[in-house]
Amino acid sequence: MERFIDHCCKECTHASDTPCKDFVRCCVEGPVCHDDPACSAKRKAIIEKVALNEQFVIC
Amino acid sequence: MSAINLIIDGREIAVAPGTTILQAARELGIDIPTFCYDPELAPNGACRICVVEVENARALVASCVTPAGPEMVVHTESERVVSARKAILSLLVANHPLVCITCEKTGECKLQDYCYRYGVADSEYSGEVKELPLDASNAFFVRDMNKCILCGICVGKCQEVVGAGAIDFTRRGFVSNIGPAFEDSIEESTCVFCGLCIDNCPVGALTPKFSIGQGRPWEVEEVRAVCPYCSIGCNIKLQVKGNNLIGVNPVKESPVNRGHLCARGKFGWDYLNNGDRITSPLVKSDGVFVKVSWEEALGFIVDNLERIKSRYGADALMGLCSPKASNEEAYLLQKLIRSLGSNNIDSYTRQCHAPAIEGLMQAFGSAAMTNSIEELANTGAVFVIGANLAESHPVLNYRVREAASRNGARLIVAHGEPIDLMNIAHHTLILNPNSYLALVNALARIIIEEGLADQAFINKRAEGFEPFKKALSDINIQNVADLTGITEEELRAVARAYATAERAAIISAVDLREDDAGHKLVLALANLALLTGNLGKESAGLYLPYGENNFQGIADMGALPGFLSGYQSVNEKRIRDKFAQAWGLVINEIPGKAAMNIFRNGKNSAIKAIYVLGENPIICSGKRPETAALLTNLDFLVVQDIFMTETASLADVVLPAAAFAEQTGTYTNTERRVQLSQAAVEPPGEAYSGWAILAELAGWLGFEWNYNGPEDVFTEIASLTPQYAGITYQRLMQEGLQWPCSSGDHPGTKFLYEGRFSRGLGLFSVVSDLPSAKTAEGKLPVCGSAGDQCCQCQSENMSRRSVISILKK
Amino acid sequence: MYEKHLMICGATGCLSSGSQAVEQALIEEMEKRGIKDQYRLVMGGCPGFCEVGPIIVIYPDEVFYCRLKPGDMAELVEKHLVGGELVERLLYKGPDVDVPSRFYDTIPFYAKQQFNVLRNSGIIDPESIDEYIMRGGYRAFTRALGMDPAAICEEVKKAGLRGRGGAGFSTGLKWEFTRKAPGLKKYVVCNADEGDPGAFMDRSILEGDPHAILEGMLICGRAIGADEGYIYCRAEYPLAIKRLKIAIEQATEYGILGENILSYDFNFKINIKEGAGAFVCGEETALLASIEGKRGMPRSRPPFPAQSGLFGKPTTINNVETLANIPLIVREGGAAEFARVGTEGSKGTKVFALAGKIRNTGLCEVPMGITIREIIYDVGGGIKGGRAFKAVQAGGPSGGCIPAEQLDLPIDYDSLNKAGAIMGSGGLVVMDERTCMVDLARYFLSFTQKESCGKCTPCREGTKRMLEILNRITEGFGIPEDLDTLDSLAYSIKDSSLCGLGQTCPNPVLSTIRYFRNEYEEHINDKYCRAGVCKALFTYRIDRDNCTGCRACVKACPVDAIKGEKKEPHEINQELCTRCGSCIEKCRQDCILITPVGREADVSN
């Protein structure tokens, strides 16, 4: 998962023509629709790559 | 919604919501100065001279764009207002050449007037003054933009009313100017020289070239006349000084053209002074024309006509009446021919509109136009098919534009090629003219299918619906879509747009000659109008405007082989007796022959003598050999005209006639409006009014017609023609009247068929849409040009010798 | 993961100071050492302190390096990146700090600022939607999707946001009018035509945080019932246009623009329309005409755009900065938080562009209610060169000047209006005694005269005549009546012009006459420009009593007009002198005086 738009796993369905209403929150706090530490880690990896410091992410 | 009460200059007034302060003030008779305000244009509010003080408002407001508000207290001439106006005038004057002494506009210039009113003699702001070069590149008018005050009215007229879009504001700041794109000259722009900018400019920036140095406004006499070109019959004011016509202005109050003209009306009158005018009677002797006296000429004519009549019978005589002839001329010509015992009186150009006329007769019982020109502005939908109004009837085009752009009408334009009107159309259909019929039939079919037909109207006012409906059910919409190149979706959208409007009008200017495709199309359009109940009410109907200015009138006057005036049939004894009594002679009971048929026979025709009033069959026929053959083989040919036309050059006698501005007469425009055109200048040389020539000739032939003037002729017309019965010159001096006008206090008839059609019920016709073999090579010829410039029919007798000839494409 | 993040400013100011070359050098130095992949370089948005650009901020260390040159990069890489030590000489230094300062909390320029609108500028990669989302982006929009449109308008009203384009109209109220207007088709328009000379607040937002604008427009669309928006961006901002296009593409890909957005019954698409070089197109009705393909000329109101705007449909037009505030307000708890900052009548923060004779030029974002004194001296660092403050021009060509007597005026819409100035878009031009107020008025008026659309008489002709009078005055041909003429003409123009441009363009003239009438009178009656700007109205004379003959001026003079012996008082040859001002810049003794033409030097500065 390189970017937030990429699906973290098979559970994810969000795309512009099949939208998921939790998408935005899910980018940073997700996964929302299911529990999976691996998926959560994928998101953290994206964030860590660009977060300048601890205060960078705003929820 | 309730009225709004406000106080202006201490006076109370209640107005409808949406009324501007300016409009309210005008109702009270308060004169607030304006430069850029024009009720016909979108609200502008640019010049700021109309600012007024509203109590408790932060700044002064422009009264022309500010709606009256409840309890508003307005001061139109307070100190603060006057100070602002003086500043604005001072600023304008600072950048304006003060050359009032030689300016053409002096005496009727708003800048001058307001400076006088507010005591602004000079400007307190001395500085740069613009020095722009004159644009005198074109043949019609001069633009001196140094005098321009940038009110923008010219831009508004050009873009909103006419749609030519030749000019707009250019640049910015102090160097702002108004002109064509890329600062081209007018000559290079899309200007159509309609003259609206000139007519509405409040200052002297725009001047027709003919008028320069010709006379001051107070030296000019204005004579009311009617434009001689197309069948709209715009009302004009001939500007006369001495015996010279120096300009033409439109009449603002006329419901026909409302202050609008096109290039022909505005500029196409200079042919009057052309050196080619025939100024004396001519008789051909040894192949050469010789000038003779009127006595000689008339005597010669009488001898020949009597000779031919006694040798070959009255049926060998024929009269050809130009659709440019006045009603009086046309009436007298047919009276003359009929007095000689012949019913062979017709117009060569009638064939252009014959199919349309026959179609209307079949569907409604009368070929007269169903509705009026001014009603078009208020229609809810307009379907223009096979008409390029911008070229053929520009003023009608302005009304369609107004309906669509300003008043929210849905505009559907169908044509064989792209035309300007499509720029503002909601539905644009470009298709082969051969497919017009298929299109219209498909629309009718869709309207029925989608339940949009006005069944109540059909049941009560029409017949023949069932066979018509059945015939339509055979139509396959997809096939029509393939044939026309228009998708089914669009076809349905168009059908709905037309059928769901409360009032919808159809306009077509199709003209055809010997094939019946035009006839069928007219029937199909009539079907559409009947189907949707768009007849017998305002702002609806079927508009098939004629080309020539008095095409309607000469037919009304009986210049038709089978009818006397008012379409009273020669066949009917009762009618013949009526005329016989009035004229003191017997009317031939056998209808005459149509000009079309006579000329087709060429030199084998039985006609031996023709009196041609103003027509030019040689050119109108497209120079067909049969036409020339017939004319050259005639025993005797008389031509009464203003120029030596191709036909006149073949004549035995040529009589010099007066042109439109040189004679008084009435003309009936395409919306059945009889209008009086007054003589403004004397005809040249020995030329005479047409009616007078005919009356004189009649006297020489032994008929006792005692007319002291054209009014006497008209009185007789009215007495014998039911549709004209209530019309008199006295009434016409006030305004034109639309027939039927049955009595002296009848106001005229704006639209027809309110209660019944002329034939009782309207008739649905089944028209198959197989294209006629004769149009195999392609386009349906369309009545393409205004007045006398129609490609086939008219000989451009007037425009050829006028500056407007350069406009012909 | 990256070792460090280097945020290089690629915005207006730093770009002109050469940040591209600095970036190039930095990349080269890192590649030389083969360490480029360990560090993340972002050419991003504006940190605001243009005076000390080019700027690089290193995270997570939070070190602010400034006044950089390509030649500094080797040391920076070697010492800081590889060696882990600060490069002191590249830190911020100035008369307002005792030691070279490291970051936002220690650099005085930033002390009184509060970053709302500029929250992401310089912090994120403007071309990354992911970073925008990480910083809380599109949360407010998600919340708005689930709200009742009327409730959204209420929140914006409660927050007290007023239009940041200059007019200061209540944004929530404007949205409400459009929401209530009848009709199914409505539009949101973003006015990104920032035309005031020297203003670049909107530019920085567009270039540095484009998604904030998209989010603002989306929320507005939801609130008023629009499904389409236009961003009217001046063509002179190609980078902003590029960034906006990228942002729109990304948002579309992410399903934040398009149909059925995030599965709600809401569609929205955004179009970009480029301006074509007309200041008047910043006026909202002229802007709408321009989008419609017509000549950009204003029209009268009513009808107001909220009832009949773009293509005749109800339209809300908002300024870039206004829209950038929206996501902050509409996020959970945002309205109350927003309203805690600012004054009673003017809530929130405002971005100002500090320009002119001020030490710290650049962009700053401060809470409303801050005094002018604080902006000039605390944020701005006071007047350059230690001269005296004369006035500050607020609001560009539509605004007025605020003199020294009014330094304690709080900056908010109403106070500024009362003082005869306007908030405008936020441009503050600071002036010292070397600014001629007459020339200032003339400068602004020449701008508006050129930009006047030409539609209405008072503006088109009136500004020309006013300008001619001012030109005459600055050239020495003023007459006493001129002041009255200027006054009455200005009043007429204000009272009868069609649009905001005309109604406000006399303000600089009126305001400078109001507070600096004596300068006008000196120009007119004494033919003297004491600021030394109007070349026809002064001469430079060397005060022989104080001149030490150091010859610094001689070296500077381009026409060899100064003569004298070394260590002896020198003299300026008035025939040759062009009054270019080079000598007075260089003089160490402050002994070159600005004197009236034809008179000896005895006039105080």
Residues C16-44 have pLDDT tens digits of: 899 999 999 999 999 999 998 999 999 98
State the SS3 of B759-807: CECEECCCCCCCCCHHHCCCCCCECCCCHHHCCCCCCCCCHHHCHHHHH
**pLDDT value of residue C161:** 97
Cα-based torsion angle of the residue sequence C33, C37, C41, C42 in order, rounded to the nearest 10 degrees: 160
Q: Is B69 on the interface with C (CB under 8 A)?
A: no
Q: Does chain C touch chain A (at least 3 C-beta pairs within 8 Å)?
A: yes
Query: Which residue in C136, C145, C254 is closest to A58 by CB distance?
Result: C136
Residue C488 banded pLDDT, cuts 50, 70, 90: very high
Contact yes or no for C453 and B172 at CB 8 A? yes
- Predicted confidence at residue B173, as pLDDT, reads 93
Dist. CA C136–CA B700, nearest whole Å? 105
CA distances, C234 to each of C255, C263, C271 (Å): 27, 34, 14
Q: Which chains touch C (3 or more CB pairs under 8 A)?
A: A, B
Decide if B284 contacts B578 (C-beta within 8 A). Answer: no
pLDDT mean over B591-614: 88
Among the partner residues C468, C489, C496, nearest to B48 by beta-carbon distance: C496
How many CA atoms does the CB half-sphere of B230 hold within 13 Å?
29
Q: What is the pLDDT of residue B773?
A: 36
Place B795 in a pLDDT band, splitting at 50, 70 and 90. Answer: low
Domain count, chain A: 1
Cβ-Cβ contacts under 8 Å, C2 against chain A: 49
Q: Which of residues 27-46 of B touch C (CB under 8 A)?
A: 43-46
What's the rounded mean pLDDT across residues C481-494? 94
C381 backbone φψ class: left, alpha, beta (φ>0; ψ -120 to 50): left
Is residue C328 over pLDDT 50?
yes
Which architecture does CATH list for C437-526?
Answer: Up-down Bundle (1.20)
Residue C139 distance to chain A (closest CA, Å): 6
Please give, rounded to a whole number of angstroms, the shortest distance from the CA of A27 to a CA of chain C.
Answer: 7
Q: Are C117 and C325 in contact (CB under 8 A)?
A: yes
Is the pLDDT assigned to residue B518 strictly greater than 90? no
Domain ranges of chain C: 4-107, 129-339, 349-432, 437-526, 538-595
Q: Do B173 and C461 touch (CB under 8 A)?
A: no
Report yes or no: C166 and C395 within 8 Å, Cβ to Cβ.
yes
B778 has a pLDDT exceeding 80: no
Residue in B382, B356, B381, B380 with CA at minimum distance from that of residue B369: B356
Location of structure tokens 């149509």: B594
Cα–Cα distances (Å) from B371 to B502, B545, C472, in that order, read 15, 11, 65
**Total length of chain B:** 809
pLDDT of residue B509: 84
Does B118 score more than 50 pLDDT? yes
Q: For position B794, what pLDDT does the model report?
A: 52
Min CA distance, A40 vs chain C (Å)?
Answer: 14
**Which region among B104-113, B500-509, C97-106, C142-151 has the lowest average model confidence (pLDDT)?**
C97-106
For C411-458, how does the pLDDT look when each residue is reduced to its tens digit (9 = 90+)?
Answer: 999 998 888 788 888 999 999 999 999 999 999 999 999 999 999 999
How far, in Å, CA of B197 to CA of C403, rounded? 51
pLDDT single digits (tens) C503-512: 999 999 999 9
pLDDT in tens, B705-750: 999 999 999 999 999 999 999 999 999 999 999 999 999 999 999 9
**Residue B788 confidence (pLDDT):** 44
Query: Which residue in B46, B60, B128 is closest to C495 by CB distance?
Result: B60
The whole-number pLDDT of residue A16 equals 87
Alpha carbon distances (Å) from B383 to B52, B472, B488, C258: 44, 20, 18, 37
Report pLDDT for B802. 84
Which 3 state secondary structure label does DSSP give B346?
Answer: strand
H or E stretch covering B568: strand B568-569
Contact assignment for A28 to C134 by CB distance below 8 Å: yes
pLDDT digits 0-9 by tens, B216-254: 999 999 999 999 999 999 999 999 999 999 999 999 999
Q: Which residues in chain B have their CB less than 8 angstroms from residue C492's CB? A: 83-84, 87-88
**What per-residue confidence (pLDDT) applies to B510?**
64
Residue to test with chain C: of B4, B32, B41, B48, most C Cβ within 10 A: B48
Q: Does C246 touch chain A (CB under 8 A)?
A: no
Kindly list the residues from chain A whose CB atom is less than 8 angstroms away from the CB atom of residue C135: 56-58
| Phi–psi pair at B401, nearest 5 degrees | -60, -40
Q: Is residue C553 within 8 Å of C562, Cβ to Cβ?
A: yes
| Residues C140, C334 contacting (CB under 8 angstroms) | yes
Whole-angstrom distance, CA of residue C423 vs CA of residue C167: 8
Asked if C468 and B127 come within 8 Å (Cβ–Cβ), the reply is yes
Q: Is A52 helix (H, G, I), strand (E, B) or coil?
A: coil
Question: Within 13 Å and on the Cβ side, how many CA atoms surround C49?
Answer: 26
Q: Which residue has the higher pLDDT, B697 or B348?
A: B697
Shortest Cα–Cα distance, C137 to chain A (Å): 8
pLDDT digits (tens, 9 = 90+) for B431-474: 988 889 999 999 999 999 999 999 999 999 999 999 999 999 98
Nearest residue to B209 via CA among B177, B180, B179, B246: B246
Q: Measured between CB atoms, which of C123, C133, C260 is closest to A28? A: C133
CB distance from C501 to chain B under 8 Å?
no
For chain B, which chains pass the contact test of at least 3 CB pairs under 8 Å? C
Run of H or E residues at C133: helix C129-134
pTM here? Answer: 0.91
Q: What is the mean pLDDT of residues B480-493?
A: 93
pLDDT for the residue C422: 85
- The per-residue pLDDT for C598 is 75
Write out chain C residues lying below 8 Å of B82, CB-based: none
Kindly state which CATH superfamily the domain C129-339 is placed in: NADH-ubiquinone oxidoreductase 51kDa subunit (3.40.50.11540)
CB A9 within 8 A of CB A39: yes
Facing residues of B8 across strands?
B11, B74
Work out the mean pLDDT of chain B and round it to a whole number. 91
Burial class of residue C98 in the structure, from the number of CB atoms within 10 Å of its CB (0-12 exposed, 13-18 middle, 19+ buried):
exposed
Contacts of C488 in chain B (CB under 8 A): 83, 87
Cα–Cα distance measured from residue B545 to residue B230, given in angstroms and rounded to the nearest whole number: 9
In this complex, does chain C touch chain B, defined as having at least 3 beta-carbon pairs under 8 Å apart? Answer: yes
How close B175 comes to chain C (CA, Å)?
Answer: 8
Tell me the CATH class for C4-107.
Answer: alpha beta
CATH code: domain C349-432 is: 3.10.20.600
pLDDT tens digit string along C269-297? Answer: 999 999 999 999 999 999 999 999 999 99
Q: Do C496 and B87 touch (CB under 8 A)?
A: yes
C264/A21 touch (CB, cutoff 8 Å), yes or no: yes
pLDDT band at B678 (very low <50, low <70, confident <90, very high): very high
User: Which of C279, C492, C494 best probes binding to B when mutated, by most B CB atoms within 10 angstroms?
Assistant: C492
Select C538-595's CATH number: 3.30.70.20, 3.20.20.370, 3.40.190.10, 3.30.1330.20.
3.30.70.20
- Interfacial C residues in 478-497 facing A (CB < 8 Å): none
Q: What is the pLDDT of residues B654-669, one digit of tens each?
A: 999 999 999 999 999 9
Identify residue B599 by its one-letter amino acid code. F
pLDDT at residue C589 in the model: 83
Distance from CA of C513 to the nearest CA of A (A): 50
C457 interfacial to chain B (CB closer than 8 Å): yes
Mean pLDDT, range A31-54, rounded to an integer: 92
Cα within 13 Å of Cα(B717), Cβ side: 35
Task: Summarize the confidence of residues C576-592 as an average pLDDT.
Answer: 88
The H-assigned helical ranges of C192-266 are 201-208, 210-224, 238-253
Give dist(CA C145, CA C222) in Å, integer.
Answer: 7
Whether residue B83 and residue C450 make contact (CB cut-off 8 A), yes or no, is: no
**What pLDDT is attached to residue B601?**
79
Cβ distance C450 to B62 less than 8 Å, yes or no, reads: no
pLDDT the model gives residue B193: 95
Distance (Å, whole) CA B148 – CA B105: 12
| Residue A45 lies in domain | 1-59
Q: Is residue B783 very low, low, confident or very high in pLDDT (cuts 50, 70, 90)?
A: very low
Q: Give the C-alpha separation, B391 to B545, whole Å.
A: 13
Closest CA to B421 of B484, B457, B376: B376
More reliable by pLDDT, C101 or C370: C370
DSSP character at residue B669: -
Residue B17: pLDDT band by 50, 70, 90 thresholds?
very high
Residue C240 has pLDDT above 80, yes or no: yes
Q: How far is B83 from chain C (nearest CA, A)?
A: 8
CA distance B250 to C531: 63
Whether C249 contacts chain A with CB within 8 A = no
Taking contacts as CB-CB distances below 8 angstroms, the residues of chain A near C252 are 16
